[in-house]
Chain A
Amino acid sequence: MDCYTANWNPLGDSAFYRKYELYSMDWDLKEELRDCLVAAAPYGGPIALLRNPWRKEKATSIRPVLEIYSASGLPLASLLWKSGPVVSLGWSAEEELLCVQEDGVVLVYGLHGDFRRHFSMGNEVLQNRVLDARIFHTEFGSGLAILTGAHRFTLSANVGDLKLRRMPEVPGLQSAPSCWTTLCQDRVAHILLAVGPDLYLLDHAACSAVTLPGLALGVSSFLQMAVSFTYRHLALFTDTGYIWMGTSSLKEKLCEFNCNIRAPPKQMVWCSRPRSKERAVVVAWERRLMVVGDAPESIQYKQLTIQVLLDRLVLRRLYPLAIQICEYLRLPEVQGVSRILAHWACYKVQQKDVSDEDVARAINQKLGDTPGVSYSDIAARAYGCGRTELAIKLLEYEPRSGEQVPLLLKMKRSKLALSKAIESGDTDLVFTVLLHLKNELNRGDFFMTLRNQPMALSLYRQFCKHQELETLKDLYNQDDNHQELGSFHIRASYAAEERIEGRVAALQTAADAFYKAKNEFAAKATEDQMRLLRLQRRLEDELGGHFVDLSLHDTVTTLILGGHSKRAEQLARDFRIPDKRLWWLKLTALADLEDWEELEKFSKSKKSPIGYLPFVEICMKQHNKYEAKKYASRVGPEQKVKALLLVGDVAQAADVAIEHRNEAELSLVLSHCTGATDGATADKIQRARAQAQKK
């Protein structure tokens, strides 16, 4: 039994620890670590080393080398540092290496030493130089805090979405704080700093002095502070060799410990085993390591999720391994294999020595139509690397044409984008592209493009009809669409123009257009309308009343109703109103006026082109049976029965029907026989029917 516990050492009363080597580092360091800037990524990520030649005592002109190793010391990248002096290194949560230069410029590198981008921490930092910098991780991403030579702090909570915040001044601060750290509370980043015996908390708005609950007396300075990975706990090391451990809200002390070492420690960090409830602070000096623990309390660290693990593998370009893991874990394709293949493809497009054709083919062979793979994303990456042609080739594999549109627009392939948008059937997308094209092309080219795309054209036309009438006209002009131009001006003649001259002018333009369209009918009708409009205007001037905008028919009717028969006749002749219409019109108007005398005169003026049944109908409509009967006698034989029935003469109707020997007429009369009064008539019809059948 002894052998199992032999290498366990007691830690306090109830805990034990042991020390053993997990693996040995494979690296072959040429420099002393103490002479280097070192940064290790969280979750056993890569380690970056930059020999620091800018330290005053070792000033040298040799350019330093930036080296990146895996956690086990495998070299991943090595490059000559050609930029300015670096103050601090750190890894973002996405495993990007941030190198903070003295001038506040931050250079960002990938895991393999590939340069990604750079950004600046602002003018104030540039002027006062960077004294110290910290990279910290929050749920929003990785942040960066800078302490400048003017002893002011500048902070960005997420370097992926750079928003710089200059923190308030600490009153009376003459020298750099003895130690500081970033805290993250209520989703906001703060800075805690120590100046002599005082502690200050900085947020965006204010600087406030804070105290530690239960802090031992006699502290005149804080030498180190450390915040736990979850930002829940805080530890401070004082010049009296005393360690305070508590919550980072500064409301509660968890424990304290006096180690009796007054030398400032090199490093102090919180540590814990995964899923362990025990936490401890490890303090390191040049030749001594101390672990300070406290009572168990329930906290749990988030584990590295499988997604993060896969991301890490992908970053290390271990694509086959990642795919094997996905398959082993039976992850859905969209979350697993597809995603990894897409990453691989994005890496592939960066291989500049391979031709566009080959890259596109290789990607398509591997990816095929795997669900969840977005060819447009890969194409966007290719475009980002300056490979437009490759991007276009890749886009061709994108099955959803709508997805191709944004990138095509970005690449200024607007016409292709238009076709793809139309293919997608998404009219909003088409409209978006149209607006792009409108700004990009001159008017002529824009119209020409529309002309070749009927769907886009009708969409744009609809828009113009409501919002840009002039453009609509230009569109028709461009197309020599005289028919539509004519219609356009017809509409303008009553919708846009108010004065008669303006309206007539619009009609003239319309008529000209119709002639050009070889639509003589419309042209003539338009010219008639011009004449009518002018005439209506004159009538209003001369007779008063309202004429403008009446139809021809209504104009004549209004004249008759107003007692201007002569004018009405003249108008009918001028506009060649057909006889039949004129008879209907006069008949109706005179009956409305109940001018029965005039109606009779009219009926006798010549043989009616519409017969006399309408006279009977209209008189009955005005409830004038007396007049109706006059006309019933003049109705021709074919409609006689109907006329007689209309005036209520059932008996005579029966006689006529019998005379005609017309079965349909007989039934019609019969259906009008009601009650006792028509009994005899009904019998008569039945007899006639019986007789007809005998024959």
Chain B
Amino acid sequence: MAFPHRPDAPELPDFSMLKRLARDQLIYLLEQLPGKKDLFIEADLMSPLDRIANVSILKQHEVDKLYKVESKPALSSNEQLCFLVRPRIKNMRYIASLVNADKMAGRTRKYKVIFCPQKFHACEMVLEEEGVYGDVSCDEWAFSLLPLDVDLLSMELPEFFRDYFLEGDQRWINTVAQALHLLSTLYGPFPNCYGIGRCTKMSYELWRRLEEEEDGETKGRRPEIGHIFLLDRDVDFVTALCSQVVYEGLVDDTFRIKCGSVDFGPEVTSSDRSLKVLLNAEDKVFNEIRNEHFSNVFGFLSQKARNLQAQYDRRRGMDIKQMKNFVSQELKGLKQEHRLLSVPLLEGFNIRESTSYIEEHIDRQVSPIESLRLMCLLSITENGLIPKDYRSLKTQYLQSYGPEHLLTFSNLRRAGLLTEQAPGDTLTAVESKVSKLVTDKAAGKITDAFSSLAKRSNFRAISKKLNLIPRVDGEYDLKVPRDMAYVFSGAYVPLSCRIIEQVLERRSWQGLDEVVRLLNCSELAFTDTTKEDKASSECLRLILVVFLGGCTFSEISALRFLGREKGYRFIFLTTAITNSARLMEAMSEVKA
């Protein structure tokens, strides 16, 4: 049970420095507006800000009242207003309306806008167009790396995914490059760099250019982290679209972990109050179960409850009783509902059955997001839906959820998540039958179903090449995982993690040409190794994995497992924590 670290595991660098840096910078910016001031904070920034500087620190630096940036005008009577916002145009209009209202009322105040993590020219232009550019002073709070845990850094930019992978907007690439530059300034150069994906490549090149411009800053520094691996989310959509079954992922799917903490409602806490719980390595019990398959968790907690309740620090988080309640009520039901992986999809062995399952799902209005997820998963694993199904599923969906989702489907198609098969791609009836015959009934159902899905499309070819669907004889012991597939009940090794494993093993992309080609990344996979004599053997076992477009807790758990197997330690940097629902919501069109 619970994964102890190997005794030879390398020490992690101290990332709390990033928090201190961010805090000092924020304080400096607040001091730039001396005297009492009201602070308007964008809703998305509240949780990250809370992890950096709490209210009492803000008060110490003469922040009087705190307001949320929202559509209705705030009634602040302060003479100085400070806005802490993401560089979004709608925020600029909000600020402009506030300033213009003051002007109409003949009132003069001081306004300061702090953009986090950087300002964009378009924002300043909007301020100018609204006629308030001269009235406000603009600053940047270059806070782009929030340590959510000892091995997890998040840029807290969920919009990165939609902006880049749907809209083709490259604005955030500079932010990524700056963040990487900061890391190499603080923790030394990275002797080995690997990457795959278009966004990865652009970010990497921009980062390199930054390093060259500030030539010498990192030169001669001892590297602390031996490898960096960058990866675009669209290299592996499948993993992100799967339902999660490791504990932390499951909690995220069920309750949405927000900025490293989760709100448990009264139904979980079995009291009349909600409870906000910080989920990280400091919580000892949580740390022991976070990477476990959920089926192990209940037994573990029952035992823990007997042994440990007395010693366990209640104040720190959810107590054992609450966790047990959660597991027994929320997770037990899961087994029956077949939330496992993509079981609904996979229960039937052929596409026909999967399609009608999804159709029923839509007809019953079970969940708009879940239906989209299943459609996308089917589409990607099949290299697109056959035209008839594509149309009928869309029709059903529009009937259930409204015509604005025409736009949702247009988005999904553009992002390559839900497409129509080109005529030649259709599985022939014969092939389909053969595949059914070949299926080995004796083996686990899920495994078979998955392999049947992973047959002809690129995903199938990739899956075959990289052995993503392990052959299993008998039961897969989820208590004693043998490979990374345990994060999906032993049925599937996350593609992203497998790629990372393979490249690290080879220290290059050599021999993976075919996989890279199948991923449509022929020009977009690179290795950049510098001879680094100062790199210690310890540092060469530390690997920073950068997910552009978000990473899931399942991937984190899988790589933590890999690390233990190989004596590595992984550090994760992501634009945001994601899961299937977040991806689908990012693509969905909602009526305002």
> Mask for A451-495, Cβ within 8 A of B = 1, else 0?
000110011011100110000000000000001000100110011
B:309-334 near A, CB below 8 Å: none
A509 within 8 A of B: no
Docked CA distance A483–B409 (Å): 12
From residue A602, how far is it (CB to closest CB) to chain B in Å? 16
Please indicate the chain B residues that have their CB under 8 angstroms from the CB of A552 in the complex. 398-400
B35 within 8 A of A: no
A525 within 8 A of B: yes
Q: Provided the pairs A427-B170, A428-B120, A432-B121 are in contact, do residues A467 and B399 lie with their beta carbons within 8 angstroms?
A: no
Docked CA distance A458–B162 (Å): 13
B73 within 8 A of A: no
> Mask for B402-413, Cβ within 8 A of A = 1, else 0?
111011001000
**B120:A427 contact, CB within 8 angstroms:** yes
**A580:B363 contact, CB within 8 angstroms:** yes
A426 within 8 A of B: yes
Q: What band does the interface of chain A fall in when counting residues whose beta carbon is under 8 Å from B? A: 35 or more
The interface residues of chain B, by DSSP majority, are classed as helix
Please indicate the chain A residues that have their CB under 8 angstroms from the CB of B360 in the complex. 580, 584, 610
B255 within 8 A of A: no
Q: Which of A371, A549, A581 contacts B399 (CB 8 A)?
A: A581
A459 nearest in chain B by CB position: B169
Q: Provided the pairs A487-B406, A581-B396, A588-B364 are in contact, do residues A494 and B120 lie with their beta carbons within 8 angstroms?
A: no
Docked CA distance A580–B361 (Å): 11
Docked CA distance A455–B202 (Å): 12
**B365:A521 contact, CB within 8 angstroms:** no
B167 within 8 A of A: yes
B391 within 8 A of A: yes
B90 within 8 A of A: yes
**B213:A526 contact, CB within 8 angstroms:** no
Q: Which of B121, B174, B364, B592 contacts A425 (CB 8 A)?
A: B174
The interface residues of chain A, by DSSP majority, are classed as helix
From residue A353, how far is it (CB to closest CB) to chain B in Å? 36
Docked CA distance A179–B404 (Å): 85
Please indicate the chain B residues that have their CB under 8 angstroms from the CB of A463 in the complex. 89, 122
B521 within 8 A of A: no
Please indicate the chain A residues that have their CB under 8 angstroms from the CB of B364 in the complex. 584, 588
Docked CA distance A491–B592 (Å): 10
B: number of interface residues (CB 8 Å): 46
**A491:B407 contact, CB within 8 angstroms:** yes
Most buried by A among B126, B174, B359: B174
A661 within 8 A of B: no
Docked CA distance A144–B171 (Å): 48
A626 within 8 A of B: no
Please indicate the chain A residues that have their CB under 8 angstroms from the CB of B88 in the complex. 466
A115 within 8 A of B: no
Please indicate the chain B residues that have their CB under 8 angstroms from the CB of A466 in the complex. 88-90
B394 within 8 A of A: yes
Docked CA distance A553–B88 (Å): 36
Most buried by A among B122, B125, B360: B122
Most buried by A among B170, B209, B395, B399: B399
> Mask for B138-169, Cβ within 8 A of A = 1, else 0?
00000000000000000000000001000111
From residue A504, how far is it (CB to closest CB) to chain B in Å? 12
A:195-228 near B, CB below 8 Å: none
B391 nearest in chain A by CB position: A521
B14 within 8 A of A: no
**A529:B403 contact, CB within 8 angstroms:** yes
A435 within 8 A of B: yes
A462 nearest in chain B by CB position: B169
Please indicate the chain A residues that have their CB under 8 angstroms from the CB of B163 in the complex. 462
**B121:A490 contact, CB within 8 angstroms:** no
Please indicate the chain A residues that have their CB under 8 angstroms from the CB of B213 in the complex. 400
B586 within 8 A of A: no
**B169:A577 contact, CB within 8 angstroms:** no
Most buried by B among A400, A528, A551: A551
Q: Which of A428, A487, A521, A588 contacts B121 (CB 8 A)?
A: A428
**B406:A526 contact, CB within 8 angstroms:** yes
**A458:B399 contact, CB within 8 angstroms:** no
A8 within 8 A of B: no
A673 within 8 A of B: no
Q: Provided the pairs A400-B213, A494-B591 are in contact, do residues A487 and B396 lie with their beta carbons within 8 angstroms?
A: no
Please indicate the chain A residues that have their CB under 8 angstroms from the CB of B205 in the complex. 425
A347 within 8 A of B: no
B:347-402 near A, CB below 8 Å: 359-360, 363-365, 391, 394-396, 398-402
A551 nearest in chain B by CB position: B402
Please indicate the chain A residues that have their CB under 8 angstroms from the CB of B120 in the complex. 427-428, 431
B173 within 8 A of A: yes
A43 within 8 A of B: no
Most buried by B among A431, A525, A585: A525
A301 within 8 A of B: no
A164 within 8 A of B: no
Please indicate the chain B residues that have their CB under 8 angstroms from the CB of A494 in the complex. 404, 591
Docked CA distance A550–B391 (Å): 21
Q: Which of B169, B209, B401 contacts A551 (CB 8 A)?
A: B401
A575 within 8 A of B: yes
Docked CA distance A119–B177 (Å): 46
B206 within 8 A of A: yes
Q: Which of B89, B168, B591 contacts A467 (CB 8 A)?
A: B89
Most buried by B among A461, A487, A577, A588: A487
Docked CA distance A525–B392 (Å): 12
A428 nearest in chain B by CB position: B121
Please indicate the chain A residues that have their CB under 8 angstroms from the CB of B168 in the complex. 454-455, 458
Please indicate the chain A residues that have their CB under 8 angstroms from the CB of B533 in the complex. none
**B363:A461 contact, CB within 8 angstroms:** no
**B400:A400 contact, CB within 8 angstroms:** no
Please indicate the chain A residues that have their CB under 8 angstroms from the CB of B589 in the complex. 491
B337 within 8 A of A: no
Docked CA distance A553–B170 (Å): 39
**B209:A458 contact, CB within 8 angstroms:** no
A494 nearest in chain B by CB position: B591
A460 nearest in chain B by CB position: B122
Docked CA distance A428–B124 (Å): 11
**B394:A521 contact, CB within 8 angstroms:** yes
B215 within 8 A of A: yes
Please indicate the chain A residues that have their CB under 8 angstroms from the CB of B122 in the complex. 431, 463, 467
**B170:A435 contact, CB within 8 angstroms:** no
Q: Provided the pairs A521-B391, A577-B399 are in contact, do residues A427 and B171 lie with their beta carbons within 8 angstroms?
A: yes
Please indicate the chain B residues that have their CB under 8 angstroms from the CB of A550 in the complex. 402
**A525:B403 contact, CB within 8 angstroms:** yes
Q: Which of A371, A431, A525 contacts B406 (CB 8 A)?
A: A525
Please indicate the chain B residues that have their CB under 8 angstroms from the CB of A126 in the complex. none
Docked CA distance A575–B399 (Å): 9
Please indicate the chain A residues that have their CB under 8 angstroms from the CB of B395 in the complex. 525
A656 within 8 A of B: no
Q: Which of A425, A490, A529, A549 contacts B407 (CB 8 A)?
A: A490
From residue B423, how far is it (CB to closest CB) to chain A in Å? 16
B409 nearest in chain A by CB position: A522
Q: Which of A426, A455, A490, A521 contacts B174 (CB 8 A)?
A: A426
**A427:B410 contact, CB within 8 angstroms:** no
Q: Which of A425, A455, A525, A610 contacts B398 (CB 8 A)?
A: A525
- For the A-B complex with A458-B169, A549-B591 known, give 19 more contacts whose Cβ atoms are closer than 8 Å: A425-B170, A427-B120, A427-B173, A428-B120, A458-B167, A458-B168, A459-B170, A466-B89, A466-B90, A467-B129, A494-B404, A495-B591, A525-B394, A528-B403, A551-B398, A551-B401, A553-B400, A578-B363, A584-B364
Pull 6 A–B residue pairs with CB atoms less than 8 Å apart, ordered by A.
A425-B209, A458-B167, A490-B406, A494-B404, A525-B403, A550-B402
Report, nearest first, the 9 A-B pairs whose CB atoms are least far apart. A458-B168, A466-B89, A529-B403, A581-B363, A551-B402, A428-B121, A552-B399, A425-B206, A431-B121
Residues of A at the B interface (CB closer than 8 Å) are 371, 400, 425-428, 431-432, 435, 454-455, 458-459, 461-463, 466-467, 483, 487, 490-491, 494-495, 521-522, 525-526, 528-529, 532, 549-553, 575, 577-578, 580-581, 584-585, 588, 610
